[in-house]
Amino acid sequence: MTSIFLRIYGGLLFTLVLVAVLSGLAVTIINSFRLQDYQESVAQGTFNLVAMQLAGKPEDLQLLLLQQAEHLLGIPLVLVDAERTALSQNDLARLKEKEVVVSQLKPDKAHVYSMVDEHTLLRGRVTTISEQLAYGSVMLIKQHLISMPFHQRQAQVTELQQLFSYPLSYHRAADSGLSAQNLQRLRDGHMVMLLGPDARSIRLFVGLEGGSNVGLDETQQVLEVGPIRFLEMYPFKLVFTISLFAFSSISLAIYILVRGLEKRLRKMERAATKISRGDLDARVNVRGSDSVGRLARAFNGMASHIQRLLSIQQEMIRGVSHELRTPVARLRFGLQMVEDAQSTDERENYLEGMDKDIQELDHLVDEILTYASLEQGSPVLHFKRVDIEEIITQVIKEHLALANGIALEHIPCSASEPKRRAEVERRYMQRAIQNLVGNALRYAKTKVTVRYTVTSETCRVDVEDDGPGIPENEWDRVFTAFARLDDSRTRASGGYGLGLSIVRRIVYWHNGRALVGHSEMGGARFSIVWPRRQ
């Protein structure tokens, strides 16, 4: 088995390396798209707000506003002609929908675009979407709100919310939930930045002067921005997906590696199945010098040995049958010796007894030969579609003269004649039914019934009697060759213990099975079941 393990180990090692490379590449590609989407999401509101402030303004005022925005955001901003950019039509369509577009220049640099008007775009060159951009965004919003009347600020924040991907809120300082220390910082004109409870987001607070009062107290307003979530490079869903991909890939590789081994083992399994069904010529066609190849050669050697042993056994059975015919000949020759009998009646009795012995010996020889022919290999069977009901009727007619006062009842099948037909070897199937009926008559007290039922797939013949029945612990032995459950009863009723064994082999070669159970009449019920089509 060492060669097999080395082959599988080498394949798995290659697969692991390949899966690791593909997984790393997949994570890199996915994260690049996620990073671009995150950058666009975070920068969307900021750049749209600057573009909104620039829209419709004179050129000199636009330059002034750009300088202020550059100072707050800490990034260079320029106005460019929309037709002279390298943006695609899809990107331009997104800009018209108030989205921003991030065009990656290098791994650490990118251009961010937003639309000022139909022909002009705002472009900013950023390295990272950092705290500086968040700080600048808050200050831009603050400046925009300060320039408006106090009573319009709340509505303006609601309108600005449509530009930003993260929440904006405008409320009283008392409702902000900030500590006294942070409120004091807001009064001093500073911005307050709080880390989220999960350490994956931030919130920004800045104070706005309210009404005609100067300074910040608990009745005045605070602009809250966020929470702004950080980009998590390895979230659970991504790790789970990549892990699932790796596991599936390794499982597939294992399956492919093992499949070849499995196919070779299946060949051995099929050969073993054929041998178990009697095809002793079945062999395994598996090549190779590895463990499976050596096992296949050992299997073929075993099959040849079994075939030879069975052949010897069949020869022995034929020899026994031949030897049994020899005393039969002697018995017939001995008939001439009865002439020394002292009376005619005595001589006739001797003759009659010897003739019965001869008949029984002949019958035994026939049973042995029949059983031997069914036990060896696969017998030559010529399956034809015949009416099983017709076979049962013929068997019952043959046994009426042997019934000895026992009622032999045939329960007709309710199916039509075409549906009663099944593919069988007529000679063997008739022999099987004969043996079942003869066995039932041998042990019945007053009645034997024969019933044939058929379905779309199977056929079944049940033979029941009202005799003593068979104990359940003997059901496994009843179909064994030469088995006698009760020797005294067997001698009284005749039989050699081969009839039911022949039935079992006949049904076996019809791909069916023979069953025994309790009859409703109190005796035994023997059944044979086989498929309608072979």
Interval 373-402 mean pLDDT = 84
Max mean pLDDT range (226-230, 385-389, 491-495): 385-389
Determine the pLDDT at residue 298: 86
Which is higher by pLDDT, 225 or 342? Answer: 225
Give Cβ neighbours of residue 35 (< 8 Å, ≥ 6 apart): 231
* Average pLDDT, rounded, for the chain: 78
- Per-residue pLDDT averaged across 431-457, rounded? 92
Whole-prediction pTM value?
A: 0.42
Whether the predicted pLDDT of 443 surpasses 80: yes
* pLDDT tens, residue by residue, 176-199: 777 788 887 877 777 787 777 777
More confident residue, 239 or 463: 463
- Pick the residue with more confidence: 101 or 411? 411
pLDDT over 50 (residue 277): yes
Q: Does pLDDT of 453 surpass 90? A: yes
Q: What is the CA radius of gyration of the chain?
A: 49
SS (H, E, C) 316-363: HHHHHHHHHHHHHHHHHHHHHHHHHCCCHHHHHHHHHHHHHHHHHHHH
How are beta strands 120-126 and 77-81 bridged, if at all? antiparallel
Structural domains present in the chain? 6-229 (no CATH), 384-531 (3.30.565.10)
Measured CA to CA in angstroms, residue 156 lies from 69, 151, 224 at distances of 19, 10, 14
Strand 447-454 and strand 201-208: pairing?
Answer: unpaired
Summarised one tens digit per residue, pLDDT across range 34-66 is: 776 776 777 777 787 778 778 777 878 888 888
